[in-house]
Amino acid sequence: MALEYQGADKIYIVAIPGANGETYMRPFNQTDGTTSIEADDVELETKDKSETAYGKISQTVSFGQIMTKGDPAYPYLKKALRNKQYVSIVDLDKRTLEGEQGTYKLNSYEEDNGVGDNVSISIEASLSGDVKEIKLTTLPDGAPENNADEGATPPSQ
């Protein structure tokens, strides 16, 4: 029997630098994610032959999440983009805890805060350099339990 992957089996982890090295943080409440690898074409055409070869290879990742109180990832990513800093992102398989880690240039950080909806965040980044394979020993914690009444303002009547 084939074991198909579900969207929840693949997540992105952000490595946040600190005084004691980097800490792997799981952006809370991830809603989606995409890894895209593309190759440019190099056309070779002579009187004898016509070929297409690989040109520049590029990779981008993007993921969405719901803004969650206490999440250290989105403030870090917003600040990193404003300060033109590169970030370390891991594309992780939750089943095996194996993934690929690379240094990325942040292309965009977007918050969508429509009335009546959760605030959603979208991140897009381009790989700068190579990726390395990693294996985590534990999965970083995700979002804590929802305490909807904590700090909430009661609806007006």
**Domains recognised in the chain with CATH numbers:** 7-135 (2.30.110.20)
CA-closest candidate to residue 28, choices 123, 131, 136: 123
Query: How does pLDDT run along the chain (157 residues), one tens digit per residue?
Result: 778 999 999 999 999 998 888 999 999 999 999 999 999 999 988 888 899 999 999 999 999 999 999 999 999 999 999 999 999 999 999 999 999 999 999 999 999 998 778 999 999 999 999 999 999 999 998 888 876 655 555 555 4
Question: Phi and psi dihedrals of 9, rounded to 5?
Answer: -80, -15
Q: Is 94 exposed, middle or buried (0-12, 13-18, 19+ CB in 10 A)?
A: middle
Indicate the pTM of the whole model. Answer: 0.85
The SS3 of residue 104 is strand
**CB contact at 8 A, 42 and 98:** no
